[in-house]
Structure 1
């Protein structure tokens, strides 16, 4: 099996090496995408109470309707092309909606009071917390889809195929759609068409608490008794096979069975070896006469339901925990319904990247463990920019598919003391992250105004804006300005930071060079330029009608001064002759000069701490 996999990967790499010129021509006609991840229940919340473990009445909650025309206009003007509305599908919450036919959830099997958006309770409905009228919550979300489209942006939501809420209850299934587990044989650990894995003969036990943890902070609740009724017990979402999972397991969720036997072997058809070279239509056709596990069909139907409602794409949680063959089946079905669907996956294992792109038909994967982690170390002062060129070289064949970010709901806020404690230290990293490839850029709401995630909301620790509890987001609230969405309460520093993000992102969506060629000139300057250190990074980007020279300083103090060199091979590719050429910085408009002598370019650079220049050749 390993030999077959290696051969398939070899074919994929060979194919990729033969494609770049043709693919590059196609990319130059595209717009660089900017994804704005917004935690939907926090975005519009103007309540500044921020009490720990507070109720929805005490701390407030944002609604679909808080994304007003004005808000969406401002986000579009920020450079956003895709709105990822996080936390839309109905997940387990500790709030009483029994008047709307929704059962109460047990605090012993829910993290926080507002609940994790990754413990979905009903895939054919939306979170009632997000609606002004919970009885019309789906209509309110449909209206948000329409408003977002009206302002020229696409809509993404989460699908979490690896697991569902411990208390899944599909009360809104379309006619003929059975609930997860409805036909499962619960007397066995595994059956190919069971939706869940079982632990026969054992009942589920709530994890033993750590650090004096109590659900809801110890508040009395009729269902909070240290027990949860599940018999037989099911495997937990992260794969724990214990009837009593650990406190740090994903105990609020249960794992979905995709035809993977407990010993790791499979009960589903494999893709032929050459299908890593085939398009979505070939994959779609392949699966039409195949018998696949029931869970595959259920999640395909969920994705197609939301696609039909107007959702333009999905962010797939923990995609690498689900077999790549399922993704071929799922994604080719989505693309058959909407060829332009935007499919983004959370995959952290670099050895799986090419399989999930070429076989699984993902459009984009997180570039976390290579680019993000390296940039984080550089920002924190213990990493070197010398490590960046090898990352882009290693991903050269799939660079367009590796989405870049500096924050998301799983990561620490840049401004938090646990990260770097200063939002400005993210500025050079954001220039590099945005401009180094043709891949989409992702921004987490509040990042653009330096949100530090300092609030103690309840479940979990701060430094990450809480995804589990009702809370306000102070820096973001100052930009929101009680619904005016004009930044009226921001400090001067926060306004300047947001202005930087706006300048960078809006340029990125219009630049043809950023969808064109890339060469790093960092290594050449490290070897040949006096004063050019390991806290500076430089590269060039170009297309047929635009040429860029980009340099960023990651030093938080002390200016950098040197004569940046542009190697002869770049000058030759650009068709430039000896002489002087005007450069203009696209961020703030300053001018400089590229001088070419004997075929080698040079630019006198004076970089202030954390400063970047994106010089455009005039």
Structure 2
């Protein structure tokens, strides 16, 4: 469903590009000067699938058990491991899969009920089918009884390493068998007080089909929830009466196998006919800050589900977590986000809040009204860069994206990999991690927004394993599995790359250089202007496999040039338009520019008749971040 939505929004984006096509013939507008302080620098989020990071078991049996294929632990994030992550150029760690979700491992001796394979995806379970929001995944603890304490120790270690902690909250849905063992005093489970005789009530946490019983989906031929194993609870039955609506919105008492059948939809006070049983924000409130939003909701009656998720978020903020990643935020009303995020910001004004929203038409509402800090730039920048990496897309489509988002560019989180997307090095994507290098330079330097890196991306992980429920091209989030490229770097938990290949070491060095440039650059927290379309029109030998733009602050001037061609070197005289030369207050003459990435490329920036030129020579897939040396 998630990918279906993404494809629909991709069609919307194509129309968006068509509407902006005229930009090619227009002179680029210079953004207003941005004042940059030392505290305003780029941020980098390292998404790490917590259960896989420290797993050194390379057995990789499809549908393998925890004992057969191994599992990583909170304790695997040692001081050494965290230092290496920090030194990579990271500012925030998103520990994916921390809240207690369904798993097919028997923890009954710890008072945890077994989970039914008929409503669990994979043996290790989906991290987005949360069973208990007030505790953590028992798989991740060495001492199961002390799992919360072990996570708290990880939070503290992460902070001591100079990093901030992000975890998931999934407000749209929970596991079908949600049951918290460790609710704080006075906190009631989702659905505990629901009137199940009604399809809908404003204070019900779920939607129901009264007098109907839930039925397990009809599986495809030869499919079994745990592969060839016959599990005691695998009987194609699950006790849920009355049936609840499914997480992706399906109202069927027997959802389809491609639905999010392992989850149930949360009711936020929107009736089946679309009526909102809560107050909406007043006109113009998108321009108010979080304090005004918190004040607005302070005396309002809100649906019970709103309170439950607000309390969950504040629990983890008090625990020491610094922010959240919200799954499928657009499936939850924007008014709820205003309510919850303003409450979070009142407790921690610096909380880092990022979310999936795949419809560009909703971006501004969820940023301005919903007070979400950062949204995935998926259907615009990521999809376009992917096509260029695959060899059939054109860089000409990139500048219009930045033009169209310039009022919210800081809020659009950039990435090339995450747990939902294919690995760059997989055959199904680009087939080579090297093809991701120019795209990563562009993704990380084209705006002031944060950059996200998925663990193993920096080592060229190709996700070739058939994990069981999860298939090749994406590192499985549903199975116990090893991550080979990462495991070689982990090197029996030495975290030193001791088993890495030379190519893997070189790739990680590239990412380290790039990310550290971004977090230490004032220009990359400052102004942007496209020069690509100008050079496409005015520069010989400058083609649609090249991209260039400039970034600057009061004390730093950068020119970024990337060659996406995997086979061809590029050589041309890059032109810097007169309006940029004027903005930078450069005089006629010659200035030295040097590459910030490797410090092996330098050239002369020659200004004549008000326009600048730089002799550029790039190898296949090479990029340069040229800095004008002090005058």
- TM-score in terms of structure 2 length: 0.94
CA distance in 2, matches of 1:283, 1:143: 34
Cα offset, 1:210, TM superposition:
1.5
CA shift at 1:29, angstroms? 4.0
Aligned match of 1:598: 609
Question: Which sections of structure 1, spanning at least 5 residues, go unmatched?
Answer: 1-19
What aligned pairs does 1:309-324 form with structure 2 within 5 A after superposition?
A: 309-324=319-334
Cα drift, residue 125 of structure 1: 0.1
Q: Hey, what's the Cα distance between the residues in 2 that align with 1:57 and 1:384?
A: 47
1:109-148 map, 5 Å: 109-148=119-158
- Residues 143-185 of structure 1: CA distance to partner in whole angstroms, max 9, x if unpaired? 0000000010000000000000011001111000011001000
Q: Give me the whole-angstrom Cα distance separating, in 1, the residues matched to 2:302 and 2:37.
A: 35
Match of 2:538 among 520, 528, 537: 528
Q: Is the 8 A contact 1:455 1:462 kept in 2?
A: yes
Q: CA deviation at 1:197?
A: 0.3
Secondary structure in 1 matching 2:34: helix
Does structure 2 conserve the Cα–Cα contact (< 8 Å) formed by 1:27 and 1:515? no
Indicate how the Cα distance of structure 1 residues 425 and 69 shifts in structure 2: closer, same or farther if over 3 A, else same.
same
1:110-160 deviation digits (Å, cap 9, x = unpaired): 000000000000000000000000000000000000000001000000000
Report the alpha carbon displacement of residue 218 of structure 1 after superposing the two structures with TM: 2.6
In the superposition, relative to structure 1, how do residues 489 and 47 fare at CA in structure 2: closer, same or farther (>3 Å)? Answer: same
Conserved 8 A contact 1:260-1:267: yes
1:76 to 86, 105, 110: 86
Unaligned runs of 5+ in 2: 1-29
1:180 is aligned to 2:190: yes
1:157 to 2:171 alignment: no
TM-superposed deviation, 1:27: 6.8
Distance in 2 between the 1:517 and 1:150 partners?
33
Aligned-partner SS, 1:287 = helix
Q: Answer yes or no: is the 8 Å Cα contact 2:35–2:553 preserved in 1.
A: no
Local SS of the residue matching 1:545? coil
Structure-to-structure mapping, 1:354-369, within 5 angstroms: 354-369=364-379
2:625 alignment partner in structure 1: 614
1:580 alignment partner, SS class: strand
Q: 2:595 aligns with which of 585, 590, 602?
A: 585
- SS of residue in 2 equivalent to 1:125: strand
Aligned to 1:489: 499
Are residues 257 and 23 of structure 1, via their aligned partners in 2, closer, same or farther at CA, if it must alter by over 3 Å? farther
What's the secondary structure of 1:84's corresponding residue? strand
Q: Structure 1 CA distance, aligned partners of 2:72 and 2:274? A: 42
8 Å contact kept, 1:28–1:516: no
Q: Offset of 1:240 from its aligned partner?
A: 0.3
Residues 1:372 and 2:382 aligned together: yes
TM-score relative to the length of structure 1: 0.96
Q: Which residue is equivalent to 2:55?
A: 45
Distance 1:173 1:122 in 2: 9
CA distance in 2, matches of 1:537, 1:583: 18
Pair 1:395 & 2:395 matched:
no
* Contact 1:418 1:463 (C-alpha < 8 Å) held by counterparts: yes
Q: CA deviation at 1:57?
A: 0.3
Which residue of structure 1 lines up, in the alignment, with residue 438 of structure 2?
428
Q: Counterpart in 2 of 1:509?
A: 519
| Equivalent of residue 548 in structure 1, options 547, 551, 558 | 558
Give, in whole Å, the separation in 1 of the partners of 2:614 and 2:517.
22
CA displacement at 1:460 relative to structure 2? 3.2
Q: Any conservation in 1 of the 2:61–2:69 contact (CA below 8 Å)?
A: yes
Match in the other structure for 2:229: 219
Question: 2 CA distance for matches of 1:544 and 1:460?
Answer: 49
C-alpha separation in 2, matches of 1:566 and 1:23: 18
2:12 aligns to what?
Answer: none
Output the CA distance in 1 between the equivalents of 2:284 and 2:31.
22
**Matching of residue 478 in structure 1 with residue 488 in structure 2:** yes
Rate the CA distance shift 1:23–1:302 in 2: closer, same or farther, 3 A.
Answer: farther
2:458 maps to 448
Aligned length: 599
Give the corresponding residue for 1:193: 203
For residues 569 and 84 of structure 1, what CA distance do their matches in structure 2 show?
41
Once the two structures are superposed, residues 472-510 of structure 1 have per-residue CA deviations (whole angstroms, 9 ceiling, x without a partner) of 000000111110101111111111100000000011000
Q: Which residue of 2 aligns with 1:326?
A: 336
**For structure 1, which segment, 443-452 or 457-466, has the greater mean C-alpha deviation from structure 2 after superposition?**
457-466
Cα distance, 1:25 vs structure 2: 2.2
Cα pair 2:34 2:553 within 8 Å, conserved: no
| Cα offset, 1:381, TM superposition | 0.9
| Greater mean deviation of Cα atoms: 146-155 or 584-593 | 584-593
**Secondary structure in 1 matching 2:492:** helix
2:31 touches 2:527 (CA, 8 Å); kept in 1?
A: no
The corresponding residue for 2:252 is 242
Match of 1:500 in 2: 510
1:408 to 418, 431, 443: 418
Alpha-carbon distance in 2 for matches of 1:520, 1:84: 31
**Aligned residue in 1 for 2:274:** 264
2:31 and 2:187 mapped to 1: Cα distance?
46
Offset, 1:24: 3.0
1:28 Cα deviation after fit: 6.7
Equivalence map 1:12-31=2 (5 Å): 24-25=34-35, 29-31=39-41
Question: 1:396 is paired with a residue of what secondary structure?
Answer: coil
Q: Tell me, yes or no, if the aligned pair for 1:517 and 1:543 is still in contact at 8 Å.
A: yes
Q: Match for 2:470 among 460, 470, 494?
A: 460
> Out of 228, 231, 237, which is 2:238 matched to?
228
Q: Render the CA deviation track for 1:431-472: whole Å, top value 9, x for unaligned.
A: 000000000000000000000111111113211000001000
